[in-house]
Chain A
Amino acid sequence: MVTSQVTAPVPARRPVWTRPYLLAGILAAWLVLWLIFRGQATLPLGGAELTPLHERIGAAADVIDDSRNENPLFLYFVNYIRLFIDQFVTFVQALISAPSFGRPVPVVGWLGVTGIATAVAVLYANLRVALLTAAGFASFGLLGLWRESMDTLALTLAAVVLSLAVGIPLGVWAGLSDRFERLAGPVLDFMQTMPTFVYLAPLTLFFLIGPASATVATMIYAIPPAIRITSHAIREVPPETVEAGASLGSTPWQLLAKVRLPLAKRTIIVGVNQTIMAALSMATIAALIDAPGLGKTVLKALETLDVGTSFNAGLAIVIMAIVLDRVTSAAGRRVETARRAGRARRPLWRRVQVTAVLAATAVLVYLSHVYVWAAVFPGEAGLGSHVRRAADAASQWAQANLYTYTNALKNVVTYGLLNPFEAVLTGSPWWLVLLVVTAAALVLTTVRVAVVCAACLALLVALGLWQDGMVTLAATLVATVLVMALGVVTGVWMGRDGRADRVIRPILDAGQTMPAFVYLVPILGLFGATRFTAIIAAVVYAAPVAIKLVADGVRGVPVSAVEAATAAGSSPWQVISKVQLPMARRAVALAANQGLIYVLAMVVVGGLVGAGALGYDVVSGFSQLQLRGKGLAAGLAIVVLGTMLAALTKAAARRADAAAHGRL
């Protein structure tokens, strides 16, 4: 019936009202059937209960444990990788963070590291970013966290270098070969959506406790963006340029080295940027398996609920993220302008500049190698104690004075939105939910997507975690609705007002990079251990992405269109609702997609603050041997939910795209 219409690449013309009416019909039927079948076949599973599948997964993990010492794969392959990574990380640490080579301090002290970082910023980015870099690195010392910051930086850099070494070649391959790209896609999705808690403990079996495990855990999360964006960059190179090169008789290798890679350079730098951000976001989680650095400070402070200390360390992570982000972004822009402007203007001036910067850096490095004052950050780190006290006071004040309001907000959202929604999802028999979702996907998207949805939900049943999956799904969708509401409102504001953008953007960066463990205690104080607290944590992390995407989309609307509408007498409200948002609908759809993925990334953190369900299952799998199999299954269930929701939102984005092009 509907099939023949929706498989067409461009939606066939049909009365505009069909879709909404069909959808409303499906929802109405759902509610009626829910009333009839409520409570049947809801497949609940208690906290400590296991299904045979969970037991089998647990037993399989045990077998791997036991064969570790005999298995040749371990003895020869994994052990050598571990040795190599351990050596590499230890070397980077010896350079900047750990006492080394019989000295009480690392090879390069604070002055030298700050000098090198600033020099890199001057040479590859610009002066403004260089000043930011110098200030950022100095702040690590002023916060009293120089050593911890350098530990984090060393581990992050090592993981990034290794990720790029693996990721860029694979990305180039994926860019050149459609088959490899199709093959790699699902694997990369899996790596990005599988919660780290699931593979953290098994990793220490393979790579032992130490830098190698932490680095590999970080790489699993950081490699996918490197591969994806490199592949995208290679594919972006205009085919005409490549053909021109080929017709001049270039070999495939020459085409890659002389044509494709140089043209893809700017986008590849975006990939480097994303890889760095992903690696840095693992700093706290890696600390659970003894990775040194700021993450450890955060986790230790959480043991005694010391909000000030953990905020201080979180702030250092945010600063590091912002500095690294600005440097790589500016470097990317510079590559772009350099390419547009043609070959280096004024090579002599550039050479003088480079020489001067390098010489100054060498001096700083030398000083920091030799003299104590330049090696160990001097002073009492007064800034740190101020930050700690201020954060403590703010958190205490908020918990004491805002609770009445925050509790009311929690109750409104929970009773008004979350509980009814969850009741319908968890109260319906599983086959009803499966039918409804598949039918809705058929109406809204394509047959292929509908099949994916049905398969994902069936898998959820097979994993034995249906009801937990539905509870998590309900919270995820509510969180995404909140993220999109914030994203559209704030994004439009920022897109229309440059000053608002400049003020808000650093706050968004902080929301994205501040480890959730830092604000767990304050939000627990405000909202209690509830599902809503988990939703708030997800919104804090996911809203910035959505807001930025919407803001960029709104800014991308041609000025002429806005001016024309204003000249025609439209009110600001009309300009937004009739011109800017419709023209930015592709960006809004993308924001929904990314918002969802980011919300799902916080499911496990939600399990730490009262969300229960899949997040809690994963955390308990990490904490209790008998629950290991269930934790793994819960991790898979999160991946399955992610696959389904990503497929739905991607299809919606494509439709928005098609509609936008149809209308323009």
Chain B
Amino acid sequence: MKVPRIALAGAACLLVSTVSACAGAKVGETTAAPAASGSGSSSAKQACGALNLAINPWVGYEANAAVIAYVAEKELGCTVTKKDLKEEVAWQGFSTGEVDAIVENWGHDDLKKKYIEDQKVAVEAGPTGNKGVIGWYVPPWMAEKYPDITDYKNLNKYADLFKTSESGGKGQLLDGDPSFVTNDAALVKNLDLNYKVVYAGSEAALITGFRQAETQKKPMIGYFYEPQWFLSEVKLVKVNLPAYTEGCDADAAKVACDYPPYELDKIVSRKFADAAGPAYQLVKNFTWTNDDQNLVAKYISEDKMTPEAAAEKWVTANPDKIKPWLPAS
């Protein structure tokens, strides 16, 4: 083992491999360097610095983050690090200083109280422009066949259709990912509905359910929300609950009205906001419409593009929507 390794390797290279195998592009030569960013190479781009972007696990969020990251890297020269995290862990990241921005937040008053009011480590950075809707939905074939099903008053008439092995003789109302706030158990009780809430536990379970309900014409009613990529595949129909009025959901146990409309917003860490660098300006200025998000989400989910490619496609097609987001200077 005393033979110097390089000499040994070189000799063996001549012996073992053909000439073409030993030739070829070398690592670090300009032409063939594979795409790999992130680590070093930031000297020219000091102005913007680093942006640590939390990525919450749903496609709509990914669409927001992809576009912001693309603009931050290409227009402002920031170094963007994406961190895949569930909401609660992402907020925790504000307090440990490892997350700069969350770019699609659904309400989360409890987290706002803890991290914005009590710990004072985060601040709000304005709405994303997306309007969130939460409610009960049925597949389109049902709305067509039973037009009056979209009124909650008629739901009891159809309860038998929704019976399953899980619902104990009542109609089944399927709930999804526990990350979303749900008042459904209270709603069923307070609206005197002959239904039982069954907790599916994940978004995948809900979507699989709705997809099958539509293709196989099976009855299903469940909790869903928009904007959501799946709605561009199957246009679910919302059931009308008693209209939401300010404060009608104040007491969680007595709720008997629809969910409030959500102004989806952005949250950033206080340090990031105080530094007020170009990346912060971008995050703060970013707004777009549900249609914009749905389009990018469709690129990712249906067309199976990477988030980066989807963002590039959208940004290239919409240069004038980007302009107002960029820092004034």
Residues 405-444 (chain A) with a chain B CB within 8 angstroms: 410-411, 414-415, 419
Cβ of A525 and Cβ of B12 under 8 Å apart? no
Interfacial residues of chain B within 143-178, with CB under 8 A of chain A in the complex = 164-166, 174, 177-178
A289-320 CB contacts (< 8 Å) to partner B:
289-290, 296, 299-300, 302-306, 309
Could you say which residues of chain B place their CB within 8 Å of the CB of A358? Answer: 1
Binds A, one of B72-80, B126-134, B197-205, B314-322: B197-205
Return the CB mask of B15-45 against A: 1 if under 8 Å, else 0. Answer: 0110001101111110011111011100000
Q: Enumerate chain A residues within 8 angstroms of B271, measured Cβ to Cβ.
A: none
Residue of B nearest to A610 (CB): B200
**Given the interface contacts A201-B88, A375-B27, does A48 sit within 8 Å of B185 by beta carbon?**
yes
Interfacial residues of chain B within 192-242, with CB under 8 A of chain A in the complex: 197-209, 211-212, 215-216, 229
Does A104 touch B at the CB level, under 8 Å? yes
Residue interface mask A352-367, B partner, CB < 8 A = 1: 0001001110110111
Residues from chain A with Cβ under 8 Å of B26 in the complex:
370-372
Please determine whether B25 and A414 come into contact, CB atoms closer than 8 angstroms: no
Stretch at the interface among B90-98, B256-264, B285-293: B90-98
List of B residues within 8 angstroms of A210 by Cβ: 98
Rounded to whole angstroms, the CA-CA distance of A399 and B213 in the bound complex is 12
Chain B residues with CB under 8 A of A608 = 201-202, 204-205
A502-559 residues with Cβ-Cβ distance < 8 A to B are 520-521, 524-525, 528-532
Interface size range on B against A: 35 or more
What is the CA–CA distance of A616 and B93 in the complex, to the nearest angstrom? Answer: 24
Whole-angstrom CA separation of A209 from B96 in the bound complex: 8
A626 and B201 form a contact (CB under 8 A): no
Pick from B40, B92, B201: contact of A612, CB under 8 Å: B201
A386 interfacial by beta-carbon distance below 8 Å = no
In this complex, what residue of B is CB-closest to A371? B24
A489 CB to nearest chain B CB (Å)? 26
Chain A at the B interface: SS class? helix
Give the Cβ gap from A645 to chain B, nearest Cβ, in Å: 23
Q: A105-B27, A362-B8, A366-B5 are in contact. Are A46 and B179 (CB under 8 A)?
A: no
Q: In the assembled complex, which residues on chain B have CB atoms less than 8 Å from the CB atom of A410?
A: 165
**Distance of A525 from chain B, by nearest CB (Å):** 5
Q: A48-B185, A532-B165, A608-B201 are in contact. Are A624 and B59 (CB under 8 A)?
A: no
Is the C-beta of B281 less than 8 angstroms from some C-beta in chain A?
no
> For the side of the interface on A, what is the size category?
35 or more
Q: Does A403 contact B (CB under 8 A)?
A: yes
Chain A positions 338-378 with a Cβ under 8 Å from a chain B Cβ: 355, 358-360, 362-363, 365-367, 369-373, 375-376
Q: Mark A36-74, 1 if CB is under 8 A from B, else 0.
A: 000000000011100000000000001001101000000
| A620→B201 CA distance, assembly (Å) | 8
A637 at the interface (CB under 8 A from B): no
With contact pairs A209-B89, A525-B208, A612-B201 given, residues A304 and B301 touching in the complex (Cβ less than 8 Å): yes
B209 with A529: CB separation less than 8 A: yes
In the complex, the answer to whether A104 meets B5 with C-beta atoms within 8 Å is: no
In the complex, what residues of A have CB within 8 A of residue B22's CB?
367, 371
In the complex, whether B119 has a CB less than 8 A from a CB of chain A is yes
Residues of B within 8 A of A602 (CB): none
- Interface assignment of B62: CB less than 8 Å from any CB of chain A: yes
A162 to B89, CA, bound (A): 25
- Asked if B275 lies at the interface with its beta carbon under 8 angstroms from chain A, I say no
Which of these, A103, A362, A610, A619, contacts B28 with CB under 8 Å? Answer: A103
Q: Does B50 contact A (CB under 8 A)?
A: no
Chain A residues lying within 8 Å of B58, measured Cβ to Cβ, are: 303
The residue of chain B having its C-beta at the shortest distance from the C-beta of A621 within the complex is: B178
Residue in B10, B33, B185, B207 whose beta carbon sits within 8 Å of that of A47 in the complex: B185
Q: A205-B92, A288-B86 are in contact. Are A610 and B166 (CB under 8 A)?
A: yes
Cβ-defined contact, B1 with A355, below 8 A: yes
Which of chain B's residues 53-78 have a Cβ closer than 8 Å to chain A? Answer: 57-59, 62
Q: How far is the CB of A274 from chain B (nearest CB, A)?
A: 29
Say whether B83 faces chain A, with CB atoms less than 8 Å apart: yes
CB contacts (< 8 Å) of A611 on chain B: these are 201
Q: Which residues of B contact A104 (CB under 8 A)?
A: 27-28, 33-36
Instruction: Decide yes or no whether A221 CB sits under 8 A from chain B.
Output: no
Kindly identify which residue among B84, B92, B114, B165 contacts A419, using a CB–CB cutoff of 8 Å.
B165
- Residue in contact with B84 in the complex, picked from A65, A287, A524, CB distance below 8 Å: A287
List chain B residues, Cβ under 8 A from A109: 27
Contact of A524 among B16, B92, B205, B304 (CB under 8 A): B205
Verify A46–B185 contact, CB threshold 8 A: yes
Question: Which residues of B sit under 8 angstroms from A612, Cβ to Cβ?
Answer: 198-199, 201
Some 15 contacts from A to B, beta carbons below 8 A apart, are: A65-B92, A65-B95, A104-B35, A109-B27, A209-B83, A290-B84, A302-B204, A304-B300, A363-B8, A363-B12, A366-B13, A375-B27, A619-B201, A620-B178, A623-B86
Chain B residues with CB under 8 Å of chain A are 1, 5-6, 8-10, 12-13, 16-17, 21-22, 24-29, 32-36, 38-40, 57-59, 62, 83-89, 92-93, 95-96, 98-99, 110-111, 114, 119, 164-166, 174, 177-179, 181-182, 185, 197-209, 211-212, 215-216, 229, 252, 300-301, 304
List chain A positions with a Cβ less than 8 A from chain B: 46-48, 62, 65-66, 68, 98-100, 102-105, 109, 200-201, 204-205, 208-210, 287-290, 296, 299-300, 302-306, 309, 355, 358-360, 362-363, 365-367, 369-373, 375-376, 399-400, 403, 410-411, 414-415, 419, 520-521, 524-525, 528-532, 607-612, 615-616, 619-620, 622-627
6 extra A-B contacts, CB within 8 A, seeds A371-B24, A622-B86: A65-B92, A205-B92, A362-B5, A372-B26, A616-B178, A625-B110
Which A-B residue pairs are the 9 nearest by beta carbons? Answer: A620-B178, A529-B200, A366-B9, A623-B179, A304-B301, A414-B165, A529-B205, A524-B208, A608-B202
